[in-house]
Amino acid sequence: MMQSQSDCNRKTKILGVDTGGTFTDFVLFTGDGVVLHKVLSTPRNPAQAIVQGISELGLDSAIKAGQVLVVHGTTVATNAALEKKGCRTVYIANKGLADVLAIGRQTRAELYNLTPVKEPPVIEPENCLEVDCRVSAKGERLVALDEVKIAALVEQIDALKPDAVAINLLFSFLDEQDEKALEAALTDRYFVSRSSFVLPQYGEYERGMATWLNAWLGPKVEQYLGFLAQALQPARISIMQSSGGTIALEQASQRAVNLLLSGPAGGLSAVAYLSGKLAEPRMMTFDMGGTSTDVALVDEGIRITHEGHLGPYPVAVPMVDMHTIGAGGGSLAWIDAGGMLQVGPESAGADPGPACYGKGGTQATVTDANVVLGRLRPENFLGGSMSLDEEASRLAVQAISERLGVSVLEAAEGIVRLANEHMVKALRSISVQRGYNPKDFVLCSFGGAGGLHVCALADALSMTRAIVPLNSGVLSAFGMVVAPKERRLTRTVNMIIGRDSLAELAHTFSELQDIAEQELFHEGVAQSELTVTCSVALRYQGQTFTLELPADERQYGEMEPAFHEAHKLRYGYQMNRPVEIVNVSVRVFASVMTESLSLTPQPAALRASGGSQAGHTESIKREHMNIGQIYSGPLLIIDSHATLYVDPKWQARCDEMGNVLLEHP
């Protein structure tokens, strides 16, 4: 008999694993509490760090006994896409449409650059093949696909010897028969991705890009997940999706494009969980790791976009609405040709890492600057489990200071201020530039390096409140533990709102819900544990862009006036035109039941903890903070995985859950 998810949670340990550019983080939920752990990442094979961490946590026997559910946020798809190291892929389109991905939307990255650098096409023209078949915009079969055409196409593909095949036929979201026939002829030979499975909605370019990305990255993701499954068998493994919910490993291997923000989505999942616990519905998130910084808004839940990007690639599958920049603790400081100080986007990564790691790094990083400023202490770094070489940091920053003609301390302060400016710009892009006032939000900081910068960023945005959650240094891994099992499915319908369309709408919602529920049933989720929400993407007939609104069966008749109101709020006007339902979406999920985590602090006196170069800054361990007591900056609050620097004029207090609440009176 299949276990329900809640039964599994009571009997099974849950291990959240987040693979970052510098560290791989572990959060183990045992039913009685959590155990935290970090190991250095192994970029060449991320699974090695996972196996190492599991061994160091003493979980080998529990893994072999099948007593651990592993929830993993992977960067394999992300890194392969950013480094342009996907697999050799053939793209199949209808006759006359092989160049859709090359043409794109004809948008330019630099609108006013009269001599732009021509970027190579995402896929070589010789790898774009055509097949003579066609379905109309109404789903009518205009040109049939027969066995002769399929055989000829297979012969062309075999001659190219690809690793994967992407199939993107016109209006396949209305009739997927031709795509399925091609998939059946190719599955035994190649990794096959078809658009009617990856993204069954209108927009042949966006659908084609998602399908190509899924095929281009699929074999690498499948290989990695297969290795991980073998290394951890018979443990059950779930993978974090870009939308903030998890999917079983067996299904994830076919949805590489849905894993592009797998790791960062874990942090937002944790913040959404925390938002509910603290009754703080509006949070601006700031996740600073060793290599990059991710920023996003949580406003009554995680914000999802269907218009995301990763590097140069548009990604139309559901993903958290997040902005990422190349600024992290490992970001390198350097002097440009004009003699100006720059920070990032290049990072020291995990190997060799910052100079203070003692692994051969000699260039100054943001982490080294914080060491010089006395904000990172060798005896407290990672709970004392990893030593820091202060002298190496000083020498690295000194090389910068000598070229600038300033003191070592001034150079370190300049590095930190410049890194802060990069992150403030990113935070403004997701708030001010979208019409949100940062003052209306609480700045939620996490990631191994976030606590060192949170007060300065809040000051720059005129924010007066911030929060650094318990276990902030491993919060993305914690998000893996509390993330729901989830499916988000979308389908294009293109219908004008009317009495007849509402019945068809209900039928489509029911179909998508059934598909999602069946997938979750295979993961051991019981019907009683499922929650279903529906939404529709609407527009005035003749428009291009849509607005997404929630759709409740009891309120179908209110969709049209709700759209008029939403359109007026967004654009300042409404129109006397028919309203069209473009896409319908269903989210089916089951929340993971975990206990609220609390902290039982023991009082402790403050003690000096500053370097000789930076003066003395008082410090306290987080677990020794008294609940509700106010601590004034400047102050270092230290836990086993991160350090929080409380700026002068800021105050900190610890709540009942162990979160540090920051206020600027």
Of the candidates 596, 584, 656, the one whose C-alpha atom is nearest the C-alpha of residue 625 is 656
Of the candidates 214, 210, 232, 6, the one whose C-alpha atom is nearest the C-alpha of residue 101 is 210
Q: How confident is the model over 640-655, as pLDDT tens digits?
A: 778 899 999 999 999 9
Instruction: Name the domain boundary from 157, 185, 216.
Output: 216
**97 and 212 assigned to the same domain:** yes
pLDDT for 11: 58
**501 and 586 assigned to the same domain:** yes
| C-alpha separations of 619 from 380, 465, 624, 631 in Å | 10, 21, 11, 10
**129 and 230 assigned to the same domain:** no
- Full residue range of the structural domain in which residue 170 is found: 84-216
Q: Rounded to whole angstroms, how far apart are CA atoms 214 and 198?
A: 8
Q: How confident is the model over 620-641, as pLDDT tens digits?
A: 888 889 999 999 989 999 887 7
Q: Which residue has the higher pLDDT, 63 or 595?
A: 63
Phi, psi values for residue 476, rounded to 5°: -65, -40
**102 and 209 assigned to the same domain:** yes
Q: Which residue has the higher pLDDT, 601 or 189?
A: 189
Largest CA distance in the chain: 82
Q: How confident is the model over 20-70, as pLDDT tens digits?
A: 877 899 999 887 778 888 888 888 889 999 999 999 999 999 999 889 999
Q: What percent of the chain has pLDDT over 90?
A: 59
**What's the sign of the alpha-carbon dihedral 315, 319, 322, 325?**
negative
Q: Two tokens at 424? A: 């403030």
Of the candidates 122, 85, 88, the one whose C-alpha atom is nearest the C-alpha of residue 102 is 122
Q: Which residue has the higher pLDDT, 170 or 608?
A: 170
Q: Rounded to whole angstroms, how far apart are CA atoms 611 and 602?
A: 26
| C-alpha separations of 162 from 151, 180, 634 in Å | 17, 19, 59
DSSP 629: -
Look-up of token digits 């330019």: 108
Do the domain assignments include residue 500?
Answer: yes
Report, as an integer, the average pLDDT of 540-565. Answer: 85
pLDDT for 16: 94
Q: Rounded to whole angstroms, how far apart are CA atoms 240 and 267?
A: 11
Q: How confident is the model over 465-493, as pLDDT tens digits?
A: 999 998 888 888 999 999 999 999 999 99
Confidence check: pLDDT of 594 > 60: no
**145 and 243 assigned to the same domain:** no
Worst-scoring range by mean pLDDT, 155-159, 495-499, 591-595? 591-595
Angle at 96 between CA 95 and CA 99, to 5 degrees: 115
Q: Are 590 and 520 in contact (CB under 8 A)?
A: yes
Do the domain assignments include residue 440?
Answer: no
Identify the burial level of 162 via C-beta atoms within 10 angstroms of its C-beta, where 0-12 means exposed, 13-18 middle and 19 or more buried.
buried
pLDDT for 3: 43
Instruction: Name the domain boundary from 216, 250, 280.
Output: 216
**550 and 506 assigned to the same domain:** yes
DSSP 626: P
Of the candidates 49, 56, 52, 48, the one whose C-alpha atom is nearest the C-alpha of residue 23 is 49
Q: Rounded to whole angstroms, how far apart are CA atoms 540 and 519?
A: 34
Q: Are 264 and 322 in contact (CB under 8 A)?
A: yes
Q: Two tokens at 188? A: 């035994």
Do the domain assignments include residue 289?
Answer: no
Q: Rounded to whole angstroms, how far apart are CA atoms 586 and 174?
A: 18
Do the domain assignments include residue 536?
Answer: yes
Confidence check: pLDDT of 611 > 60: no
Confidence check: pLDDT of 10 > 80: no
Report, as an integer, the average pLDDT of 579-599. Answer: 77
Q: Rounded to whole angstroms, how far apart are CA atoms 238 and 592?
A: 13
Worst-scoring range by mean pLDDT, 263-277, 379-393, 527-541? 379-393
Report, as an integer, the average pLDDT of 153-157. Answer: 96
Q: Rounded to whole angstroms, how far apart are CA atoms 8 and 354?
A: 41
| C-alpha separations of 400 from 33, 290, 413, 553 in Å | 45, 20, 12, 63
Q: What percent of the chain has pLDDT over 70?
A: 93
Amino acid at 196: S
Q: Give the domain CATH number at 541.
A: 3.30.1490
| C-alpha separations of 500 from 125, 537, 586 in Å | 44, 18, 20
Mean pLDDT taken over the chain: 88
pLDDT for 23: 82
Report, as an integer, the average pLDDT of 583-606. Answer: 65
**27 and 125 assigned to the same domain:** no
**133 and 206 assigned to the same domain:** yes
Report, as an integer, the average pLDDT of 554-563. Answer: 80
Confidence check: pLDDT of 328 > 60: yes
Confidence check: pLDDT of 312 > 90: no
Confidence check: pLDDT of 97 > 90: yes
Worst-scoring range by mean pLDDT, 66-70, 152-156, 165-169? 66-70
Do the domain assignments include residue 648?
Answer: no
Q: Rounded to whole angstroms, how far apart are CA atoms 54 and 52?
A: 6
Identify the burial level of 300 via C-beta atoms within 10 angstroms of its C-beta, where 0-12 means exposed, 13-18 middle and 19 or more buried.
exposed
Confidence check: pLDDT of 7 > 60: no
Instruction: Name the domain boundary from 542, 559, 590.
Output: 590
Confidence check: pLDDT of 513 > 80: yes
pLDDT for 170: 96
Confidence check: pLDDT of 607 > 60: no
Confidence check: pLDDT of 554 > 70: no
Q: How confident is the model over 367-396, as pLDDT tens digits?
A: 999 999 999 887 767 666 677 889 999 999
Crossing angle of helices 408-430 and 390-404, in 10° steps, is 90
Domain count, the chain: 3
Report, as an integer, the average pLDDT of 320-335. Answer: 88
**59 and 122 assigned to the same domain:** no
Helix (H, G, I), strand (E, B) or coil at 41: coil
Confidence check: pLDDT of 1 > 60: no
pLDDT for 100: 93
**249 and 207 assigned to the same domain:** no
Do the domain assignments include residue 121?
Answer: yes
**183 and 237 assigned to the same domain:** no
Do the domain assignments include residue 128?
Answer: yes
Q: Rounded to whole angstroms, how far apart are CA atoms 641 and 25?
A: 10
Confidence check: pLDDT of 422 > 90: yes
Do the domain assignments include residue 629?
Answer: no
Report, as an integer, the average pLDDT of 563-570. Answer: 89
| C-alpha separations of 134 from 97, 140, 175, 176 in Å | 11, 9, 10, 11
DSSP string, 524-578: T--GGG-EEEEEEEEEETT-S--EEEE--GGGGGGHHHHHHHHHHHHHS---SS-
Q: Rounded to whole angstroms, how far apart are CA atoms 454 and 663?
A: 11
Q: Which of 34-38, 448-452, 504-508, 578-582 has the highest mean pLDDT?
A: 578-582
**185 and 98 assigned to the same domain:** yes
